[in-house]
Amino acid sequence: MSLLRNNTFLMVLVALIVIVPLALPIAESMEAPFSGADDQAEGVIAQVAPDYKPWFSSIWEPPSGEIESLLFALQAALGTGVLAYYIGLRRGMAKAKDEA
Amino acid sequence: MHIMEGFLPATHCVVWAAASAPVVAYGAWRVKKIVEDQPNAKLLLASSGAFAFVLSALKLPSVTGSCSHPTGTGLGAILFGPSVMAVMGTIVLLFQALLLAHGGLTTLGANVFSMGIVGPFVSYGLYKVVRKIGGGLPLSVFLAASLGDFATYCTTALQLALAFPDPASGIAGSAAKFLGIFAMTQVPLAIAEGLLTVVVMNILTKYSQTELKSLNILDEGAQA
């Protein structure tokens, strides 16, 4: 049994990959720890092309950080719902077939 | 990997949109064909899109001290071919551009190119190559999904470098700066995406053998 076929092992690894950065003392030396890479790229643009003015802005923006988290959570929830429905359905069908 | 609304010069927006549009159109035709010819794979097709929906909503911390997200496009590219994920990627990016102010309509073409096209094509190509030289299913899926994710972020960095060359060191200089942000941050997240894609493929190998066989992921008669 290869380790890559062991889902428990894989999930523990994923959890570690996410937790380790938070546990390391990297945040203390930074001005804005764990900000988005997209925002940092915007910083580089401001540095190499200080005269660039964005020529279009978002038609609608979430009015607050809370609403933004709500919509991100909604996005993840919708995806999880479909995925979990599918896996549950196929698992049930496989089980029914085994028992038949 | 989201290039923000208005953050690419208009000519670049047009060029990237023109490059992406035919692939998305071909992908839409492929989706229609799969739904018609393989109706029993419809749910798995929707699930591949759902996987990209979930993963691209999760902004994860990286050892570089910044946050970024996986793309989730490798799974669908392996199962249904890369052009199908150009369609899924467009849906995800539209959702985020319209409701989250992440990415944008003017930069949609460029973002679809990196997340919906380059990533999935790299995943699909790598999957085929690794399988051909005898790699097992989990290993092929891991390499395909993680390097596809990584390729998406390198593409974003290069797109920004082309649009914003460094006044002193040119495109190469600014590419180094953008890669420094996107590629470095992405290394652990790409590994996480590879592992999560293997998790889903392991579940499919167990419960969805009929579909995997009809999609030629598993051999006929093989017991995973």
pLDDT in tens, B47-68: 999 999 999 999 999 999 999 9
Residue A23, burial from CB neighbour count under 10 angstroms (0-12, 13-18, 19+): exposed
Asked if the interface predicted TM-score (ipTM) of this complex is over 0.90, the answer is: yes
Query: Is residue B223 domain-resident?
Result: no
Which chain A residues are Cβ-neighbours of B156 within 8 angstroms? 41
Helix (H) or strand (E) holding B68: strand B66-68
Q: In this prediction, what percent of chain A has a pLDDT beyond 70?
A: 99
- Given a cut of 90, whether residue A12 has pLDDT beyond it is yes
Which chain A residues are Cβ-neighbours of B202 within 8 angstroms? 5, 7, 10
CA distance A65 to chain B (A): 10
A vs B: CB pairs below 8 A: 184
Residue from the list B50, B51, B181 with its beta carbon closest to the beta carbon of A41: B181
Q: Give the pLDDT mean for A47-55.
A: 94
| Gap between the Cα atoms of B78 and B33, Å rounded | 17
Which chain B residues are Cβ-neighbours of A69 within 8 angstroms? none
Calculate the alpha carbon distances from B120 to A50, B75, B115, B117, B146 in Å.
34, 9, 7, 5, 11
CA distance B23 to chain A (A): 24
Q: Are the Cβ atoms of A45 and B181 closer than 8 angstroms? A: no
DSSP percent split of chain A into helix, strand, coil, nearest 5: 70, 0, 25
Predicted local distance difference test score (pLDDT) of residue B224: 46
CA distance A55 to chain B (A): 5
| CB proximity under 8 Å: B 23-82 to A | 43-44, 46-47, 49-68
Asked if residue B57 lies in contact with residue A70, where contact means CB atoms within 8 angstroms, the answer is no
| Gap between the Cα atoms of B139 and B145, Å rounded | 10
Predicted local distance difference test score (pLDDT) of residue B222: 57
**Which parts of chain B sit beneath pLDDT 70?**
221-224
Residues shown for chain A = 100
Q: Are the Cβ atoms of A45 and B164 closer than 8 angstroms? A: yes
Question: Which residue did the predictor score with more confidence, A27 or B154?
Answer: B154
Q: Are the Cβ atoms of A40 and B46 closer than 8 angstroms? A: no
Number of domains in chain B: 1
Which tens digit of pLDDT belongs to each residue from B184-194? 999 999 999 99
Instruction: For residue B16, give its domain range.
Output: 10-214
Query: Is residue B220 domain-resident?
Result: no
Query: Is residue B118 domain-resident?
Result: yes
Predicted local distance difference test score (pLDDT) of residue A100: 80
CA distance B41 to chain A (A): 11
Query: Is residue B42 domain-resident?
Result: yes
- Is A36 strand, coil or helix? strand
Report residue A45: phi and psi, to 5°.
-60, -45
pLDDT confidence bin for A47, thresholds 50/70/90: very high
Which chain B residues are Cβ-neighbours of A62 within 8 angstroms? 99-101
The CATH number assigned to the domain holding B205 equals 1.10.1760.20
pLDDT confidence bin for A32, thresholds 50/70/90: confident
Residue from the list A72, A82, A94 with its beta carbon closest to the beta carbon of B47: A82
Beta pairing class for B60-61 and A35-36: unpaired
Predicted local distance difference test score (pLDDT) of residue A31: 81
Which chain A residues are Cβ-neighbours of B3 within 8 angstroms? 38, 41
Residue A29, burial from CB neighbour count under 10 angstroms (0-12, 13-18, 19+): exposed
Which tens digit of pLDDT belongs to each residue from A61-93? 999 999 999 999 999 999 999 999 999 999 999
Residue B9 carries which side chain, given as an amino acid letter? P
| Gap between the Cα atoms of B93 and B111, Å rounded | 7
